[in-house]
Structure 1
Amino acid sequence: MPTLFEPPLLTRLKAADRILIAGAGGGFDIYAGLPIALALRAAGKEVHLANLSFSHLYGLDAEVWLEPEVARITPDTRSAERYFPERTLARWLRLHRMPETVWAFASVGVRPLRKAYRALTSHLGIDAILLVDGGTDILMRGDEAGLGTPEEDMASLAAVAGLPGIPERLVACLGFGVDAYHGVSHTLVLENLAALDRAGGYLGAFSLPRDSREGRLYLDAVEHARDAFPEHPSIVHGSVAAALEGRFGDVRFTDRTRNSELFVNPLMTLYFTVTVEALAARNLYLRRIEETHLMRQVSSAIEEFRDSLPGRRPPRMFPH
């Protein structure tokens, strides 16, 4: 039973024994789950990290593969890829003497991705999955004017929604407002959260405190990743980190945002949390991507659905 003193998401996760925290949308998404992972490990839970990878995985050594679409990444994993967030996170974990494996899912369609999730959760004995999204576009149901970058998020959501044998399947989003950079209306995000609340699937919001151990280590991890990829730092986590440091407005931390105006603000440090079941049930096109094998098929299915709509929910301004 959740109480005022503990967010419902953490109440549910603390009841589990072995938890998989997985980045849903690729890139640096798994960093959004790092503070929660640290808190759960401090509470005595066995926590494993995974991420849908944007890196080219198929050139990795044969021994890293658990199944064809999921690989065990460590600080010493050999790869010609310079952009490799999973390995960068593994190296940061080693620096802090923490468990240093980060599992990487290949960027594939729903059927092979679900098979990979099933193999990994069975291998690790997982009884709870937390999908994490840097930003909030995973909360889009499909008929909004802008969806952000939905393909990877939706493939991950559909894959995990098809694993009813896992007792707890949850979603947490960090970085409210960041997806305006990709055309998301955050008034519609709030409207979707209200609908999820009416359906019983909204688990509330809570903030990441800067002065907590988790907040300090998150900032350190983001800075470590920025040093690893100075030419391609994460806009999402650069924004969240800036907000966590108390910065506000059009904060400049990378030339990648030089042609846009950012609105860094304290809401970016909030986690918004929902259940996988409720989020999947409200999505308007998730069944259309069920049989996909390739990520481009996911993209095509979303485009076809969008083209079939008689209209789209227009973006709305915040009234205050």
Structure 2
Amino acid sequence: MSAFFEPQLRTRLRAAERILIAGAGGGFDVYAGLPLALALRAAGHQVHLANLSFSHLYGLPDEVWQAPDLARIRSDTVTRDSYFPELALARWLRLHGMPDTVWAFASVGVQPLRAAYQALIDHLGIDAVVLVDGGTDILLRGDEAGLGTPEEDMASLAAVAGLEGLTERLVTCLGFGIDAYHGVNHALVLENLAALTRTGDYLGAFSLPADSRESRLYLDAVAHARQATPDHPSIVQGSVAAALRGEFGDVRFTARTRGSELFINPLMTLYFTVTVSGLAARNLYLDRLEQTVLMRQISTRIEEFRDELPRQRPPRAYPH
């Protein structure tokens, strides 16, 4: 039975000794897991950070490669890539006296990505994996009018869904509403969460306390990342950070959102958590991705699935 005053995410991870928090969708998704990592470390868990990477990993020196498609990024890793969220985070961790390794998964299909996950789990002795999505498009099942940017999220979900021997496999999302920028209808996200509630796979939501140590460090990390990648700051993490500061409405924090209207609000500071198994079971096309090797194969198979749909679930207006 769930404890009334304790998020189920915490309850599910209580017995885990070594936890991997992994950004599911690439880019700066791993930053959405940073407050969780800090809190879990403070509670006595061994926590490791990883991310599906958008950077040019294959130009890195041989010594960073732990396994095919799996690179160990540290604060002193040498690269010519100006966009490297994993390296930015590793350098921030070192500035704060924390372990400065951030594991980077190559942007590949399900089969090699799962092998890379398994290699990391075996190397670190991981017993629980938490996939973290910046935004909530990982919660879409495939027949919605807009899917956001599903390829990396679905590669990660399918890869982790096929792993065995873990005590827990969870998905948590931070940044409700942000994916409207990419065409996601959030009334349909809530409908999907309701369906996961019926099967016992929705584990509830809780907010980042704005005055907590974890939130203060998260805000500092986001600001540091923005300085590290001034030409491509994260819209997702910038939105969550703005919401944590109490800003509201059409807040301008990057020229990347020029021409669109944002709606920064307190719901963006909520973590929504579901089980990997329940989310994977409800996805309508995940089985089609199982044998993929390349990320572009995932894109093609999603497009093929969408072309075969007799109809899409239309957007719904949130009535309140």
TM-score interval for Structure 1 and Structure 2 normalised by the shorter chain? over 0.9
Q: Number of aligned pairs?
A: 320
| 1:97 aligned residue | 97
Question: TM-score under structure 1 normalisation?
Answer: 0.99
Distance (whole Å) between structure 2 residues aligned to residue 38 and residue 2 of structure 1: 23
| 1:307 aligned residue | 307
Is 1:293 aligned with 2:315?
A: no
| 1:191 aligned residue | 191
Question: TM-score under structure 2 normalisation?
Answer: 0.99
Conserved? CA contact 1:14–1:40, under 8 Å: no
Conserved? CA contact 1:12–1:168, under 8 Å: yes
Conserved? CA contact 1:147–1:184, under 8 Å: yes
The amino acid across from 2:237 in the alignment is: H
Conserved? CA contact 1:233–1:254, under 8 Å: yes
CA deviation profile, 1:26-84 (whole Å, cap 9, x unmatched): 00000000000000000010000000000010011101101110000000111110100
Distance (whole Å) between structure 2 residues aligned to residue 6 and residue 174 of structure 1: 18
Distance (whole Å) between structure 2 residues aligned to residue 254 and residue 241 of structure 1: 12
| 1:15 aligned residue | 15
| SS state at 2:58 partner | coil
| 1:247 aligned residue | 247
The amino acid across from 1:170 in the alignment is: L
Residue 5 of structure 1: CA displacement?
A: 1.4
Residue 245 of structure 1: CA displacement?
A: 0.5
The amino acid across from 2:177 in the alignment is: G
| 1:165 aligned residue | 165
Conserved? CA contact 1:52–1:152, under 8 Å: yes
| SS state at 1:301 partner | helix
| 1:119 aligned residue | 119
Residue 85 of structure 1: CA displacement?
A: 0.3
The amino acid across from 2:262 in the alignment is: L
| SS state at 1:293 partner | coil
| 2:42 aligned residue | 42
Distance (whole Å) between structure 2 residues aligned to residue 59 and residue 112 of structure 1: 18
| SS state at 1:58 partner | helix
| 2:208 aligned residue | 208
| 1:62 aligned residue | 62
The amino acid across from 1:181 in the alignment is: Y
Residue 165 of structure 1: CA displacement?
A: 1.5
Residue identity (%): 77
The amino acid across from 2:89 in the alignment is: L
Distance (whole Å) between structure 2 residues aligned to residue 298 and residue 39 of structure 1: 34
The amino acid across from 1:145 in the alignment is: A
Distance (whole Å) between structure 1 residues aligned to residue 4 and residue 26 of structure 2: 33
Residue 2 of structure 1: CA displacement?
A: 2.7
Distance (whole Å) between structure 2 residues aligned to residue 65 and residue 14 of structure 1: 31
Q: Which runs of 5+ in 2 are unaligned?
A: none
CA deviation profile, 1:256-304 (whole Å, cap 9, x unmatched): 0011000000000000000000000000000000000000000000000
| 1:281 aligned residue | 281
Distance (whole Å) between structure 2 residues aligned to residue 202 and residue 15 of structure 1: 20
CA deviation profile, 1:143-197 (whole Å, cap 9, x unmatched): 0000000000000000000002212000000000000000000000000000001
CA deviation profile, 1:219-263 (whole Å, cap 9, x unmatched): 000000011111111000100000000000000000000110000
The amino acid across from 2:293 in the alignment is: H
| SS state at 1:92 partner | helix
Distance (whole Å) between structure 2 residues aligned to residue 281 and residue 167 of structure 1: 18
Distance (whole Å) between structure 1 residues aligned to residue 252 and residue 223 of structure 2: 15
| 1:223 aligned residue | 223
Conserved? CA contact 1:135–1:174, under 8 Å: yes
The amino acid across from 1:130 in the alignment is: V
The amino acid across from 1:97 in the alignment is: G
| 1:106 aligned residue | 106
| 1:270 aligned residue | 270
RMSD: 0.6
| 2:30 aligned residue | 30
